[in-house]
Amino acid sequence: MTDHPTPQWLYPRPDLPPVLSPDEADITVNLWLLPKFSMLTLYCLLEPLRVANRFGRSLFAWRLFSNDGEAVTASNGVTVDVEAALGETPIFDNLFVIASYEAEATVAPSQWAVLRRVAAHGGLLAALDTGAFILARAGLLEGYETALHWESAPAFVEEFPTLALSDARYRFDRQRLTGGGGAASLDLMMSFIEREHGANLVPALSRQLVHSRLEPRIDDERNVDIGSAYCPRSVRRAEAIMEDHLAQPLTIPDICQRIGQSQRQLNRLFQRYRGETAKGRYLSLRLDRAQQILADSRTSVTQAALAAGFGQPAHFSRVYRERFGESPRTTAQRGKRSP
């Protein structure tokens, strides 16, 4: 029995279409664009979904909606086409509200009804930047902690003094996802993807997007749910040590001694925040390194194995196939065909 998760994320294949229709994807993300929305926020939400589709599975599609079905102009003056008016197509599972300036100026009763219908069906409601004002005015943030852009916080507190406001960059609270928008939306979407498809995909996405994921600013570990991007300092320190010792792996007791943490406690934290034991996480990081080397270079399988700390080729091939669903040689051959 192995102590690492079942493989599912393959290295991106250039022949795999990154843009899917709702009929082809496992999950369709619905985005409602309000006039003068932030283009940066939209890009940060969509690009992780597009890149995720390059990892060997049909994961995500997305649909853009506006108030009236017409194209929407962002705050930077760029106009974006949409699929339909909000309300014309049934939405039950998720809806992202993307607003910035004058959030509620053009919202009609029919759109309030869509938000309440998604909530009634237990779907996820997400609000970026000033989108939280729309959810709050619809009565859909009662009992939830909310994150929004720091400039909007004083006005939000003044209008909704009974709602809990977080100082985090974004907040995942059960079926509500709120955030300040802008570049923080990239990490917000990483958390969404992690919740839908597990933690193993996110590091690969970060590498493809050349992005270092940041945790939201949260002071109390006890108030953070598993869906949050937060993880304890001891887990991050252990992972940093693992990353520094991939070619010559340390033992887990050695790592525990370095960070001053018991092995039992460290495994408990890894299980909670990474979904696997510390040993399993270490193995995953080493295999990810080997895969990256094989796919990105002309290095031999033996050299890649040694660079990831595997001295026995048979063992390396077995655990590699278990994680990625293909042999190291297959990955290497595909990498050599890539331009």
CA angle 142, 148, 150 (to 5 degrees): 130
How far, in Å, are 15, 39, 255, 294, 306 from residue 310 at the CA level?
Answer: 31, 45, 19, 14, 5
When mean pLDDT is compared across 149-163, 182-196, 283-297, 307-321, the lowest value belongs to 149-163
> How confident is the model at residue 230, as a pLDDT?
57
Q: Which backbone phi and psi does 326 adopt, to 5 degrees?
A: -155, 165
**Both tokens of residue 161?**
């003094």
Verify that 98 and 154 share a domain, yes or no: yes
Verify that 257 and 319 share a domain, yes or no: yes
CA angle 160, 163, 166 (to 5 degrees): 115
- pLDDT average, residue stretch 19-30: 80
For the segment 133-161, what is each residue's pLDDT rounded down to a tens digit?
A: 889 888 899 888 888 887 777 677 777 88
CA-CA-CA-CA dihedral for 7, 11, 16, 22, to nearest 10: 50
Verify that 168 and 285 share a domain, yes or no: no
**Both tokens of residue 259?**
């960070």
> How confident is the model at residue 256, as a pLDDT?
94
Using 50, 70 and 90 to split pLDDT, how confident is the model at 103?
low
- pLDDT average, residue stretch 221-227: 35
- Order the strands of the 94-99 sheet from edge to edge: 84-85, 60-66, 27-33, 94-99, 124-129, 176-179, 170-173
Verify that 163 and 242 share a domain, yes or no: no
> How confident is the model at residue 219, as a pLDDT?
34
**pLDDT at residue 267 is higher than 50:** yes
Verify that 43 and 89 share a domain, yes or no: yes
In a domain, 283, yes or no: yes
Closest CA to 50 of 239, 213, 189: 189
Question: Considering its fold, how many domains does the chain have in total?
Answer: 2
| Domain hosting residue 243, numbered range | 233-339
d(CA 208, CA 183): 16
Q: Which residues of 94-127 are buried (b: 16+ CB within 10 A; e: fewer)?
A: bbbbbbbeebeeebeeebbebbeebbeeebbbbb
For residue 154, give the CATH number of its domain.
3.40.50.880
Using 50, 70 and 90 to split pLDDT, how confident is the model at 18?
low
For residue 284, give the CATH number of its domain.
1.10.10.60
In a domain, 12, yes or no: no
- Average pLDDT taken over every residue of the chain: 81
- pLDDT average, residue stretch 282-297: 84
Closest CA to 114 of 176, 32, 46, 34: 32
Written as one letter, the residue type at 96 is F
Verify that 159 and 256 share a domain, yes or no: no
How far, in Å, are 279, 284, 292, 327 from residue 276 at the CA level?
Answer: 8, 10, 21, 23
In a domain, 226, yes or no: no
For the segment 109-133, what is each residue's pLDDT rounded down to a tens digit?
A: 788 888 888 889 888 899 998 888 8
Residue 209 · residue 48 · CB < 8 Å = yes
Verify that 246 and 195 share a domain, yes or no: no
